Every structure is written in C-alpha cells, then in structure tokens.
Structure 1
Amino acid sequence: MSDPMIAVVLFAVMLVLLALGVWVAMALMLVALVAMVAFTNAPAGLVLATTLWGHSHSWALAALPLFILMGEILLRSRLAEDMFSGLGPWLAKAPGRLLHVNVLGCAIFAAVSGSSAATAATIGRMSVPELTDRGYPERLIIGTLAGSATLGLLIPPSIILIVYGVATEQSIARLFMAGVLPGLMLVLLFSGYVAVRAWMNPELIPMEEIKSSFKDKVKGSRRLIPVALLIIGVIGSIYTGIASPTDAAALGVVLSIILAVSTGSFSFADFKDALMSATRTSCMIAFILVGAAFLSISMGFTGIPRNLAAWIGGMELSPYALLAALTVFFVVLGCFLDGISVVVLTTSIVMPMVSAVGIDPLWFGIYLVIVVEMSQITPPVGFNLFVIQGLTGINILRVARAALPFFLLLVLGVVLITIFPEIVTALPNAMGN
C-alpha cells in the first residue's frame, strides 16, 4: 500500500475513534498500534512500553502541572475583582470605556494562568454582569471577552506552548519569550477595534460619569501591584536566566498562594479544590502527550512523515503557500478538537513539512498557537464559546457571531507575524540560547 493510502486509512481510523467518543489519548495510541501492526514489522508492544516510560518523566513537563496549579489557585482568589477595581477608573474616558477592562483584564489574567478557558471564566464571571448592568452592548461585551480570553494560550506562561515545546523539543523558555510581543500585538489590535467601534458609533457606549481624582486612581491601582509582582516574578526570572520554566512555575505557585491568601478569600478547602482540579487537568494532558509520542514514533517506523516531507519538498511550495494551506487545515481541525489535541495530533506529521520549506520551528510554534486561538472561538467546539455560553446562557451561535470580528483580528495577527517575523523572534534572539 502506498504512503498516501496508509495516511488516509490511519486518518479514517482516527476520525472514527474520535466520532465514537474515545478519549483523545486512547485514540492516538490505538491509531499508532494499527500503524505499527499493519504497516511495519517493528515490535509494537516493546515500542509502546519504552515510549510510555521514556516520555513520562520529562523534566520540562514538570512545569505543566505547576503552571496549571498556579492558574487554579488564582481562579479561586479575588484577582478578577481587584483588576476591575484597579483598571476601571483609568479606562473610564478611553474610547470604548470599560470594554477595555475585558481586553486588559484577560491579558493580565492570561499572564498568570496560562489557560484560555480559565481566563474566560474568571474575567467573564465578573465583567459580564457589571458591563451589562451599565448598558454596554451585548455583542461587544461577549466579543471582547471571547476574543481576549484566547490570549491565555499565547501570553506566557502558556500551557499549550509547554506542550508544543515538549512535543517538538524546542526550548520552552525561548517559546515563552517568543509569545510576549505577539500577545501584546493582539491586545493592541483588540483594544484598537473597540476604540474604532466607539468612534464610529458613539451611541453604542453608555455615557456614564465616573468621577475619580488622580489620587483615587493611584489608590485603586495598588490592588494591581500583587498581580504585577507575580507576572514579573515568573516571566522575569525566566527571561533573566535566574530560573528555568520549571523553577519559575514552582515560584509562581508559591507567589500565587501568598497572593490568594492575602486577599482573604482563599481557604484550605479552596486549595484542595485547586489541587484536585490541577491534578485532573495535568493527568489528562500528560496522557495525551504520551499517546502523541507513541504516534510520532509509529509514524517514524512507517516512514510517512519523511516521505511526506520529501513530497512537499518536491512540489517546491513556497513557505507562504504551505502556511496558507496549514492555516485552513488547523482552523477546520480546531472546529472539532481542543487546542492541545490539535497540537499533539499534528506535530509529528507537520513538522517535517515545515522543516522542508525552511520555516523556523520557534516561529511556527507561535503561528500555530495563534491559529489554535482562532479555533477557540469557532463553532462547534470552540471552548471559549462553551464557557461564555455557560456563564451567560446566550445561544452559542450568538456568541460565535459576537466573536467573529476578533476571529478576523487573529487572522490579521497571523498575517502580521508572517510579514514581520521579528515580532516573534526579537525577544528570543535577545535572550540568546
């Protein structure tokens, strides 16, 4: 059987398993076993055992449960309320007024949680009722929340960047640095869109008077200081080389506990809930990663990635043509799978193609995360859409329509980092190897 036919058969097996509701990790392992048994002479059982053992004790992977725990702890603290109180007075006179709290609040929480769903849930729980009561339009409230919450995937510490780094053997510290400027770029695009809408349709934004002196604004901003210190402590320690991502994650857990306890809203029962939730999430992701590792190795035995890369190289596609095709592919795939599953399912097949046309794997990781961000607000399986639907009770199609402009802004973000790759590479290059 030819390589294209083998690939089609394996892809069909994967689709059937996922359609049957089989766990993603189990589906990956079963497809890998089919590939090994049916199309190679390799000892499938031995390869499975050595792969599971070899990929289950990665030091880089230790950062994953720690960052997840940090996000779970902060999710149960009063962080969102403090951010609204601290940011609100400064944004009251900006075009779009308090809608910018959604954008900036999501960006700040993304920098301490690493999770898109946690960002949407935490900020949305506070901002949606508040902005609705003040008379802001529903579509802009929901749209800014859905779009800005995707920043949890990109702004470090990003869970999905850790997964990509482990799957492709890229430096997690360099990936974190590569995500900073694109994350800030998207914040500017989202806030810029809100400002433009406010300028074009001033009647959309309620004319409320929020009177506060400069002294009051500064006083309110003091509630942002602990969050700023946490971000500086985690990201700054990585950038300066004082700590590895794993060490910084441990520091982040300690600082997040201190921050949560200091708010007076974090009990030992909350800590136990956070610990159990982080354990469940970490086990799920780790299980998917070892399944993806086994699939990658089985693909190596079949020779499909190598031959596919050679085929792509023979077509002499330009990097831009390949990226355009992959963007469509990832967005369609993201309509049915969560972001982490998209990354682990595709890296073993896609990375040889990417290398064949000379695309930097570091840059490609940020590109991939932004494209996966698009899938977070794309029906039918956009995780952010489900989270916001659960918060508001609004029909998911209405949520998706509200998020559409921000989907298009993410497309613009991909175009900008493609035209200006320095947006991604500048900080990692400054950081060195």
Structure 2
Amino acid sequence: MIDTTALATITLAVLVFGFLASGIWVSVTLLVAGMVMMALFTPAPMGSLMASTLWDASWGWELTSLPLFVWMGEILFRSNLSRHMFQGLAPWVGRLPGGLLHVNILGCGVMAAITGSSAVTCATIGRMTVPELGRRGYPIRQTIGTLAGSGTMGLLIPPSIIMIVYGVSAEQSIGRLFIAGIVPGLLLIALYMGYVTIWSWINPGDMPERDQHSSWRHRLEVLPSLLPTIGLVFLVIGSIYAGIATPTEAAVIGVIGALGLSAVYRALSWRCFWEGLMAAVRTSCMISFIIAAASCLSIAVAFIGLPRELAGWVGSFGFSPYILLLVMALLILILGCFLEGISIIVLTSSVMLPLVEAAGIDLIWFGIFIVILIEAAQITPPVGFNLFVMQSLTGQNILLIARAALPYFLLLILLLVMITLFPSLVLSLPELMR
C-alpha cells in the first residue's frame, strides 16, 4: 500500500508537471495545485485558508520594492544611457587583449546594477554593441558569448528582482541579500574578462587590431559619459549599504534618479514614460501573482507535512552538506531547462529551505548559490531566456548561440565551486551590516 505522504507527493508532481506541460500559466498551476492538495489531503477549510493566504502574500512591505526596481529598469531601458555608457567604456578597454568585447562584460555589469533583470540587461547592451562589434570585425561567437553570459549578471548584481523574490520566500533580509551579491558579482566580471583575455591571446588571428589611438586625454574627455550611470548605481546600492535607506526607499531613489537622468538627456517622451510604466505594472503583477500562488501551494504542502517528511527522508541518507548542495544544484539546473528563474524559486523553496536549514547552511549564502544556478540556467537550452534574446538580436541558429555561451556557463559553475569552498566571499559584507 502507498502511504498518504507518497500518494500526496505523486499527486503534486502529476498536477504541477501536467499543468506546466499543457501550457497553463505558472501562477495558475501553483494555485490550482495548492487548492487540490488542500482539498484532497487535509481536513482544513480550503476556501477561507486560500483566501487569507493570498491576501497575506500580496501585501508584504518587502514586495513594494519590486515594481519600483522594475520600473527603474524600464525607464533606463528606453533611454540612451546605454549608448553613453558604451562611448565612455570603449576608450578604456579598447587596448586590452579582447578589445571591445570587454565592453559587453563591463556594460552588462553596470546595466545589471540598474535594471535587476537578466533579459533587459542582455537586450539593452546587445542592441548597441552587436552591430558595432560586427562592423569592427569581432568574431560573432565571442560577441554572442560575452553578451549571453554577462547578461545573466542582471540576476546577481544588486538590485536584483530575483533576490527580492527569494528574500520574500525565505523570509530573509533583502538588503543583506543585495550586499551578499556584490563580491560574487565582481568576481564573475573578473572571471569573464580573464577568459576573454586568455581566448584572445590563444586566437590572435580571429581578433581585429586593437585600438591604439585612445590617449589618456581622450579617455578623460569621455569619462563624464559614464558618470550618470555609475552615479545612479552608487546612489541606489550605497544608500542601502550605508543604512540610509531600506531597499524600498532605495528603489524610490532609483526611479527618481532614472527619471531625472532621462529628462536631462531628453531621452524619455510621454509615450515612453507610459509604456515603461505599463510594462512595469504587467511584470510586477505577474511576479506578485506567482509569489501569492506559491504561498498557497506552500501552505498546502505544509499542512500535509511534505517538507518535514522529505527532510526526514533525505536526512536518513546521511548526506553531507556538499552532497546535498550538489543534488539541489542538479535539480535546479534540470528545472532551468524548462522554467524561468522566479518559477524555480517559488516551486522549490517550500521543499529546499527546510532541508537547507536542517543542514546548517546559511540562507543568505544559499540565496546567492541558487541565484548563480539560475544564472547558469539562463544560458542552457531549451528555455534559456538569454539564448532567445541573443537569437532575436543576431538571427543566428540557437545551437550556435548555445555553444558560444557554453564557456560562460562553465565559468558560472566555477564561481559556484569558489563560493562553496570559500563562503566568506558571500557572507563577509553582509556580516558588516549586522
């Protein structure tokens, strides 16, 4: 005979994967699965419990920063700041081994700190650099690879939308999560730039001649082109780190700053303002609905006792924390082949977080761990969002794009190994905030 827990687990798997395979929205899938599980396997009043859970999950103060950061990204996405950033970065990196490919990496790093979105980061920088690098003779595979890989930094470098979702799901400080992502984000930039440098040394015949005409005077003349973008990044992140503003208040500062910069550069019409606002509303509502629906599923499985039973079952194997992390990493990478990052977090948090806590793993550290894994999933087929962004920008075959992104996927895995062996890379800065 199959016991109740096993039957509930099988039913949940069939419901979730069956609905997702049929093309039903993730939010609807989670909500319906939670309602069915509550009705079939618990005596609790399903209607009133689901209604109160939806309400409680939809008004949290932590979620207030989400639409504001999304709106800030939409404003800057429609402005010309990325073009000014290219003009400011190009003279500084043109003479490095790898040349202007480093603009993709640094540009995505800066844009990631503004938009908080992987796809927006990749598309914003890519629209500007793909034609320019092609005109100058840079190999298309390296152009695609640097953009696809570097675009994922929109998830890791704060402010990050997906970190907000994780912080709400795990009940962790969003400010500490933001700060925890700084050192791994900078380290990832260094890894990408190091790879491009080594690749250009090994394949000099595939690279155009480096720019030899950027004098120090010219570099200093174009430096003001970088100041607005860099200034906004330091304003938003610095206000959180200094304790001057909460993440929500910093998001307000970011929106006001983005609107101010767009007004100064005359890059935002009323039409773009309205389109950006509506896009932010749609994105925020979608994410909030997923979070609220996930809360309904979480409370249903909690009533059934699935997380407790699963934690006990995994604990019976006596896995070390490293083996447990490896199993979770493989699961997330597999899910990343079919789902986007926010869905992965809300689907797995109710099961993974009790296991992580039982193993004594810091939840702030685990948040960065899972974000890097989801970054890697952004460039794995068949549902790697950044791969589709690059296909729309370049018109290249998706398999060519996936091969171009493979080295950057491996560098993300290397970063995971580094933060696992040296957790202080993640936790040192957040500890200073205590």
Task: Give the TM interval when normalised to the shorter protein.
Answer: over 0.9
Q: In the alignment, is the contact (CA less than 8 A) between 2:72 and 2:258 conserved in 1?
A: yes
Output one character per residue of 1:293-343: Cα deviation in whole Å (capped at 9) or x when no partner. Answer: 111111110000011112222221101001111111000101100001001
What is the correspondence of 1:160-309 to structure 2 with a 5 Å cutoff? 160-309=162-311
Q: Of residues 413, 430, 433 in structure 1, which corresponds to 2:432?
A: 430
Aligned to 2:402: 400
Quick one: distance in 2 between partners of 1:17 and 1:209?
54
Quick one: distance in 2 between partners of 1:111 and 1:208?
28
196-205 vs 178-187, which moves further: 196-205
What is the one-letter code of the residue matched to 1:42? A
Quick one: distance in 1 between partners of 2:10 and 2:326?
22
Runs of 4+ in 1 over 6 A off after TM superposition: none
Shift of 1:5: 3.4
Output one character per residue of 1:62-92: Cα deviation in whole Å (capped at 9) or x when no partner. Answer: 0000000000000001111111100100111
Output one character per residue of 1:164-192: Cα deviation in whole Å (capped at 9) or x when no partner. Answer: 00011000000000000000111000000
Aligned to 1:44: 46
Q: Secondary structure at the match of 1:55?
A: helix
Shift of 1:266: 1.4
Quick one: distance in 2 between partners of 1:210 and 1:385?
33
Structure 1, unaligned runs of 5 or more = none
Quick one: distance in 1 between partners of 2:19 and 2:212?
55
Q: In the alignment, is the contact (CA less than 8 A) between 2:144 and 2:404 conserved in 1?
A: yes
Pairwise CA RMSD: 0.9
Aligned to 1:116: 118
Q: Secondary structure at the match of 1:136?
A: coil
Return closer, same or farther for 1:16/1:133 CA change in 2, 3 Å cut-off: same
Q: In the alignment, is the contact (CA less than 8 A) between 2:307 and 2:351 conserved in 1?
A: yes
106-115 vs 203-212, which moves further: 203-212
Q: In the alignment, is the contact (CA less than 8 A) between 1:37 and 1:44 conserved in 2?
A: yes
Q: Normalising by structure 2, report the TM-score.
A: 0.98
Shift of 1:431: 1.5
What is the one-letter code of the residue matched to 1:352? P
What is the one-letter code of the residue matched to 1:399? I
Shift of 1:382: 0.5
Aligned to 2:358: 356
Quick one: distance in 1 between partners of 2:206 and 2:322?
39
Aligned to 2:65: 63
Aligned to 1:16: 18
Shift of 1:208: 4.2
Quick one: distance in 2 between partners of 1:22 and 1:8?
19
Q: Of residues 147, 150, 156 in structure 1, which corresponds to 2:149?
A: 147
In the alignment, is residue 32 of structure 1 matched against residue 34 of structure 2?
yes
Shift of 1:116: 0.2
Output one character per residue of 1:198-238: Cα deviation in whole Å (capped at 9) or x when no partner. Answer: 11111121014441321111111111111111011100000
Structure 2, unaligned runs of 5 or more = none
Quick one: distance in 2 between partners of 1:272 and 1:25?
26
Quick one: distance in 2 between partners of 1:166 and 1:301?
20
Shift of 1:395: 1.2
What is the one-letter code of the residue matched to 2:312? A
Output one character per residue of 1:234-287: Cα deviation in whole Å (capped at 9) or x when no partner. Answer: 000000111000000001000000111212221111110100000000000000
What is the one-letter code of the residue matched to 1:109? M
Q: In the alignment, is the contact (CA less than 8 A) between 1:331 and 1:371 conserved in 2?
A: yes
Quick one: distance in 1 between partners of 2:205 and 2:81?
31
392-401 vs 275-284, which moves further: 392-401
Q: In the alignment, is the contact (CA less than 8 A) between 2:155 and 2:161 conserved in 1?
A: yes
Q: In the alignment, is the contact (CA less than 8 A) between 2:163 and 2:174 conserved in 1?
A: yes
Output one character per residue of 1:144-164: Cα deviation in whole Å (capped at 9) or x when no partner. Answer: 000000000010000000000
Quick one: distance in 1 between partners of 2:395 and 2:73?
25
Shift of 1:4: 3.1
What is the one-letter code of the residue matched to 1:170? Q
Quick one: distance in 2 between partners of 1:312 and 1:243?
41
Q: In the alignment, is the contact (CA less than 8 A) between 1:73 and 1:256 conserved in 2?
A: yes
Quick one: distance in 1 between partners of 2:414 and 2:376?
11
Over the matched positions of the two proteins, sequence identity in percent amounts to: 53
Quick one: distance in 2 between partners of 1:276 and 1:242?
30
What is the one-letter code of the residue matched to 2:246? S
210-219 vs 35-44, which moves further: 210-219
What is the one-letter code of the residue matched to 1:356? A
Quick one: distance in 1 between partners of 2:126 and 2:318?
46
Q: Normalising by structure 1, report the TM-score.
A: 0.99
Aligned to 1:313: 315
